[in-house]
Structures are given as C-alpha cells and as structure tokens.
Structure 1
C-alpha cells in the first residue's frame, strides 16, 4: 500500500473502515443500502427429537424460500482463550518450582472450564436488505417481517442500536464482554461529568 493510501486509512473512522455510514434504529446503513437485523433465539437441538429437528430445518427452509432478500448471520459469541492457554502451556514447560507449576496447571484447567461452559454460545441473526424487496424500510413493514418470522416458529426480535454495536464488536474483534457501547470514545465520561 502506498504512503498516501496508508495516511488516508489512518484518518478514517472505524465506521468508514467497515463501510458503515450510520447505525440505524434496527441495523446499519452502508453504500449498498440499509441492513436490518433480527435476532433469533436458537433452539437447543440436543433435546429435540428427530422429527423436532426436521421441523426446525423445514421452518428455516420456508423462511429462506419465502424471503429471498434475507441472509443468515451466525456469530461465535464466546471468547477464545487459545492464546492464554498457549501461554500457560509454554510457561508450565519453563517453570521449575512445583508450587508455581501447580498454579499454572490450575489456571489452565480453569480456562478449559470457562470455555466448555460457553461452547454453545452462538448468536444468530437474520439480516434483511429492505431495498432489495422494494424500497425504504418503514417500521410497519419491519414489524410485519418480524411477525412473519415468528409465525414460522422462531423466537425473534428486532435488534436495537446496542445489539448492532455488540454484533459488530463480536464479529470484528470477538468482544463478548462489553455491556454498553458508546457512539463516540469517552461519550459516557462527558455525559457523567458534564
């Protein structure tokens, strides 16, 4: 990359780098139009019968066939401790003191337990591009779409701006621990102290 392009990229905001011009009430606006997000609460397939699983697959098939303007988004909404575990393993190989080795071993087991406890933490979203289905989205049309998805047997709700920011944080930086996202860096400090 030449120097001029590199300098231009360094001056761009995070949203510009991601191609997002605006976080909207239920999604994001990009150069290609608005994307509206519906959050799906997944079913626990391990407790469903074969017929139950077949029914869920058929419902998803019906959804994708009746709404060709939707896309599915699946995110791994759990933290990865791979680097931490690698560090503990390396440190354990180097450590000579038995007490420290035991503490390092216990820390590694603790990280394994956390990871096992969140192994099924997934987020699913249906992404709708209303412009592809005939125009600007209005709240009534978006609510009708939500009802249609619910009628197919899914637990669904439209995403709000905090949901969108959380999905972007999980997608771009695997950040699953932040509860609230400011629109601007330091925004909450200015509001709290201003």
Structure 2
C-alpha cells in the first residue's frame, strides 16, 4: 500500500492531468493530440447589428466545416516584459535618484496593469487529432487555418511557448509568469550545486 502511494507522489503535474508531451505545435494526451488555434477577438460593441450577424454567420461556417472542433475561452494576459526590461535597463544606467524612483513607479504600475488585464479573454479553437498520419496533419491544419482566415478571423496556430502559457493560465490562473517550466519545480533547480 505504501509503495503505491509513494509511486503516486512521484507523478509530475503533467502526468496527473494526462499530458504526455508538449510539441512545437500541440499538446499530446492519452486522449489524442490537441492543436490550438488562437483567435484574436473582435470588439463587437463597436459593430452594427448586421456586422455582428455576419461574424456569427462566419463562425457558423467554420464550425460546420470542421467536425473535430472544440472551443475554449480563458483568461488572457498582456506581455509587458519588453517594456519592463527596457525600464530595468534604464534604471541600471540612471544616476539621478528622482528619475530612478519614477522608473520604479512605472514598473509597479505596469505590474498592476498586467494583473488587472487578466480579466481579458482569449479564444481558442482546438482540433483533436487521433491517429492521423504525420504526412496528413500539416496540410489538414493549414486548411483549418485558411478556413478561419477566409471567414475573417485573425487566427494563429499556437506554438510550444503559447501552449505552456495557456496551461499556466488555465490551471494556475497565473497571468504574470513569463517563462513556464518544462518540469515541476524547474525554476528552483540550480545546476552545479
């Protein structure tokens, strides 16, 4: 009994939620390979009724054309890392304490904004691949991406970094981390010690 419990304690988070692998374009699970298409949302509050109807009709056309489609909506996040990196660099070079303090306040304000923007939404179309031949997968995914674009959607196939970020937001509700770990606790490992 203890041996079984100890074995379960050694399972990683990925194993516990059924993830076998994260590839450059998909999430592999025991229930199939999941490919994510990230859809840029449209602000419908500024559209006319006829434009909204046209968007709904376009989505309906996409849904009719793809049998294996699943949809997901989750919290999004904005990436402020480039701006924050620039601010850090300026703070390191700045000699005027008053300017340094202002730059620090800018950093704090950006952190607050990033957390507040977590309530923005991100929309995903998920394609579940089951035992498809590798040679058929890329043309199939390209057709789906083309179909989305033909219907007026701004879509992008999620890469490995996007998938890790989506998992972090979905499972942890973590909207501030910039680098997601490949393995549990990876950030705490210090090589050479």
Settle same-fold status: TM greater than 0.5.
yes
Which residue is equivalent to 1:157? 156
Q: How many residues are treated as equivalent by the alignment?
A: 157
Where do 1:27-106 residues align within 5 Å?
A: 27-77=26-76
SS where residue 176 of structure 2 aligns? coil
CA contact 2:25–2:157 (8 Å) conserved in 1 = yes
Q: State the shift of 1:49 in Å.
A: 0.8
Tell me, in whole angstroms, the C-alpha distance in 2 between the residues paired with 1:120 and 1:46: 17
Which residue is equivalent to 1:90? none
Which residue is equivalent to 1:10? 9
Q: Deviations over 1:83-138 (max 9, x none)?
A: xxxxxxxxxxxxxxxxxxxxxxxxxxx9xx95996376111111001328x55453
Residues 180 and 114 from structure 1, CA distance in 2 versus in 1: closer, same or farther, beyond 3 angstroms? closer
Structure 2: segments with no counterpart, 5+ residues: 78-108
Structure 1: segments with no counterpart, 5+ residues: 79-109
CA contact 2:115–2:175 (8 Å) conserved in 1 = no
CA contact 2:114–2:175 (8 Å) conserved in 1 = no
- Whether 2:181 is the aligned partner of 1:182: answer yes
Per the normalisation by structure 2, the TM-score is 0.70
Residues 115 and 130 from structure 1, CA distance in 2 versus in 1: closer, same or farther, beyond 3 angstroms? closer
Which residue is equivalent to 1:98? none
CA contact 1:182–1:188 (8 Å) conserved in 2 = no
What CA RMSD, in Å, does the superposition of the two structures yield over aligned residues?
A: 3.0
Residues 139 and 173 from structure 1, CA distance in 2 versus in 1: closer, same or farther, beyond 3 angstroms? same
CA contact 1:77–1:174 (8 Å) conserved in 2 = no
SS where residue 25 of structure 1 aligns? coil
Tell me, in whole angstroms, the C-alpha distance in 1 between the residues paired with 2:115 and 2:171: 23
